[in-house]
């Protein structure tokens, strides 16, 4: 892609509606508030850039340096295309949210219902991120094990959900295809440590490496996300090019040029003003699951009890997934008339990938006939603008991110934009944006409840909870 072509695909972030001038005096931010944050942001920027690739910022190197890995992934994708009709991701958290978001954004919305030729020969994709027994049963009803490949994704190989799925599938594959079962498994895991790499070596499975410094919620742009995308024919080089383009934009220590820096400043300032809810509302059906992916990134990164000095701070803003226009008939009543406790990120596009004209009809019914001669493209765009306008009138903060169109490049830009914004906010909040200590307690309690040796004390603690008051159970 030429520089000009890239620039024509640049996403735009419009923060105006976060400010008093648009959302009403006292309801938004002021220029002075943003300016006050510049020194801290500037330091955050220098820190981030200086540490690029170290510690848990390995994701910042992912837009680059992956040529060989990409070639290897494309090789495997070709092999999978030639041998299998379905590809099942066994993963949870980022390992599932990223692949789902990308697949729905960039491939046909009803991919698995298309005949093989309309999928250009690529396999069906299933992403299995729960351990509900009914869910796995339903999967087995629609796949043919002989023609299915599985992608087991776990950095540690200690993810109970994924490893339980693996044990079940391994057993079924052994029964169905015999000794060749391991040829149906592609592992994505740590290169050296953990349990899954041991299994990979023992069974002789094909594997891809989760690099150091790339946590689950940043993993879509490493082999975790790239393999499932490539397997379904998505142009992963363009995805990475989009990431690299955004990374370049974010290398500038200037809030008037660096979109993630401005985004982080406004979001942080909004949090400080009591906005504890962050709604993401794409007016683009294909970006629906991008809101789920973002929800993990934002919630797990910033939801922290302690700051870096160990002070109890309990930071974090609750992400809410919404969809335009659909949720105008579900959530917008609350967004408009409810408390001033949230801000909304609209996502729009300049061009949808198809045009859907609305035919004329029923001249005697104005509520219906006015639609004729327009397109659904015009209708959805008008509704987006109308909702923005209506929320402003109710003094509700919002911003709009616009993609020229949805493609592998712009989606790469968008994801990387959110990662950078999150990283800056982590710095401003002075918390570790890359750990998740709050999930350990539940993990250990699960071990205890399943009777795993070594967790007897935890089990005793669970059982020692006060007896429940029958008055509060009906």
Binding to a copy of itself, residues 311-370 (CB under 8 A): 314-316, 318, 320-321, 323, 325-326, 328-342, 352-362, 365-368, 370
Residue 146 or residue 443: which is nearer to a copy of itself going by CB?
A: 443
- 300 is known as an active-site residue: yes
438 binds a copy of itself per the rule CB under 8 A: yes
Q: Is 51 helix (H, G, I), strand (E, B) or coil?
A: coil
Q: Using CA atoms, how far apart are residues 190 and 11, in angstroms rounded to an integer?
A: 33
β-partners of residue 282 are 347
Query: Which one of 23, 37, 92, 264 is in contact with a copy of itself (CB under 8 A)?
Result: 92
- 273 is known as an active-site residue: no
Please provide residue 399's backbone torsions phi and psi, each rounded to the nearest 5 degrees.
-145, 165
How many Cα atoms occupy the beta-carbon half-sphere of 426 within 13 Å?
Answer: 25
> Interaction with a copy of itself in 440-459: which residues (CB under 8 A)?
441-450, 452-453
Q: Using CA atoms, how far apart are residues 328 and 279, in angstroms rounded to an integer?
A: 13
> Interaction with a copy of itself in 272-301: which residues (CB under 8 A)?
276-277, 283-286, 292, 295-296, 299-300
Report how many residues bind a copy of itself under the rule CB under 8 A. 154
211 binds a copy of itself per the rule CB under 8 A: no
Contacts of 75 (CB under 8 A, 6+ apart): none
Minimum gap (Å) between residue 236 Cβ and a copy of itself: 22
436 binds a copy of itself per the rule CB under 8 A: yes
> Interaction with a copy of itself in 217-276: which residues (CB under 8 A)?
256-259, 262, 276
Residue 237 or residue 300: which is nearer to a copy of itself going by CB?
A: 300
Q: Which of 146, 175, 393, 443 is catalytic?
A: 443
What character string, x for contact with a copy of itself (CB under 8 A) and - otherwise, covers 99-128? ---------xxx-xxx---x----------
Q: Nearest Cα to 95, choosing from 186, 206, 168, 204?
A: 186
Residue 157 or residue 242: which is nearer to a copy of itself going by CB?
A: 157
Cβ-contact 429, 307 below 8 angstroms: yes
Minimum gap (Å) between residue 80 Cβ and a copy of itself: 20
Minimum gap (Å) between residue 469 Cβ and a copy of itself: 6
Query: Which one of 14, 72, 79, 307 is in contact with a copy of itself (CB under 8 A)?
Result: 14
Minimum gap (Å) between residue 72 Cβ and a copy of itself: 26
7 binds a copy of itself per the rule CB under 8 A: no
Q: Nearest Cα to 412, choosing from 248, 257, 207?
A: 248
> Interaction with a copy of itself in 372-391: which residues (CB under 8 A)?
372, 374-380, 382-383, 385-387, 389-390
Using the rule CB under 8 A, give the single segment among 1-9, 71-79, 154-162, 205-213 that binds a copy of itself.
154-162
Long-range contacts from 335-339, C-beta under 8 angstroms, 24+ separation: 335/279, 335/391, 335/396, 336/390, 336/391, 336/394, 336/396, 337/394
Q: Using CA atoms, how far apart are residues 429 and 351, in angstroms rounded to an integer?
A: 37
Query: Which one of 40, 56, 70, 139 is in contact with a copy of itself (CB under 8 A)?
Result: 139
Q: What is the DSSP letter of 33?
A: H
Contacts of 292 (CB under 8 A, 6+ apart): 97, 100, 101, 321
Helical (H) or strand (E) element with 389: helix 376-393
The beta strands (E) that lie in 230-322 are given as 277-282, 318-321
β-partners of residue 342 are 277
**Torsion, Cα of 413, 414, 418, 421 (10° steps):** 60
Minimum gap (Å) between residue 68 Cβ and a copy of itself: 29
Q: Nearest Cα to 63, choosing from 248, 286, 271?
A: 248
Q: Which of 329, 337, 463, 468 is catalytic?
A: 329
- 329 is known as an active-site residue: yes
Query: Which one of 117, 192, 363, 468 is in contact with a copy of itself (CB under 8 A)?
Result: 468
411 binds a copy of itself per the rule CB under 8 A: no
Minimum gap (Å) between residue 171 Cβ and a copy of itself: 4
Query: Which one of 41, 241, 347, 392 is in contact with a copy of itself (CB under 8 A)?
Result: 392
Minimum gap (Å) between residue 394 Cβ and a copy of itself: 7
State the first-to-last Cα distance of the chain, in angstroms, to the nearest integer. Answer: 63
Q: Using CA atoms, how far apart are residues 474 and 472, in angstroms rounded to an integer?
A: 6
Minimum gap (Å) between residue 67 Cβ and a copy of itself: 30
Catalytic residues: 300, 329, 443
């Amino acid at each position: 892609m030429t520089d000009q072509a890239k620039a024509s695909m640049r996403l735009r972030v419009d923060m105006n509606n976060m400010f008093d001038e648009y959302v009403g005096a006292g309801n938004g931010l002021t220029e002075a508030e943003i300016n006050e944050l510049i020194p801290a942001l500037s330091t955050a920027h220098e820190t981030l850039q200086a540490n690029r690739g170290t510690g848990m910022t390995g994701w910042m190197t992912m837009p680059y340096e992956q040529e060989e890995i990409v070639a290897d992934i494309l090789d495997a994708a070709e092999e999978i295309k030639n041998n299998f009709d379905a590809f099942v991701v066994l993963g949870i958290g980022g390992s599932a949210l990223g692949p789902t978001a990308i697949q729905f954004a960039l491939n046909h919305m009803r991919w698995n219902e298309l005949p093989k030729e309309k999928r250009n020969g690529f396999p069906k994709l299933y992403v299995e991120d729960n351990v509900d027994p009914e869910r796995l049963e339903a999967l087995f009803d629609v796949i043919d094990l002989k023609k299915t490949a599985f992608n087991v994704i776990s950095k540690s190989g200690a993810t109970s959900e994924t490893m339980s799925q693996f044990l079940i599938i391994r057993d079924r594959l052994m029964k169905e295809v015999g000794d060749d079962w391991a040829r149906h498994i592609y592992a994505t895991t740590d290169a050296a440590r953990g349990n899954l790499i041991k299994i990979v070596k023992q069974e002789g499975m094909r594997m891809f490496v989760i690099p150091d410094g790339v946590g689950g919620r940043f993993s879509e742009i490493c082999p975790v996300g790239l393999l499932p995308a490539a397997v379904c024919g998505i142009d992963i080089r363009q995805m990475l090019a989009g990431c690299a383009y955004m990374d370049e934009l974010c290398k500038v220590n200037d809030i008037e040029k660096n979109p993630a820096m401005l985004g982080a400043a406004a979001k942080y300032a909004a949090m400080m003003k009591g906005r504890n809810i962050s709604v993401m509302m794409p007016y683009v059906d294909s970006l629906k699951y991008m809101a789920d992916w973002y929800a993990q990134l934002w919630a797990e990164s910033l939801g922290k009890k302690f700051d870096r000095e160990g002070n109890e701070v309990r930071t974090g803003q609750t992400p809410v997934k919404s969809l335009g226009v659909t949720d105008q008939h579900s959530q917008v009543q609350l967004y408009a008339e409810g408390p001033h406790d949230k801000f909304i990120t609209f996502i729009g596009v300049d061009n949808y990938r198809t045009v859907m004209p609305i035919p004329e009809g029923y001249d005697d019914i104005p509520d219906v006939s006015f639609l004729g001669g327009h397109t659904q493209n015009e209708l959805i765009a008008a509704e987006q603008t109308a909702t923005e306008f209506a929320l402003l009138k109710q003094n509700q903060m919002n911003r709009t991110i616009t993609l020229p169109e949805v493609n592998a490049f712009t989606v790469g830009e968008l994801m990387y934009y959110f990662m950078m914004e999150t990283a800056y906010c982590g710095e401003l909040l002075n918390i570790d944006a890359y750990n998740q200590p709050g999930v350990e307690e539940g993990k250990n309690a699960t071990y205890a409840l399943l009777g795993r040796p070594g967790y007897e004390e935890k089990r005793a603690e669970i059982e020692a909870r006060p007896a429940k008051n029958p008055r509060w159970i009906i």
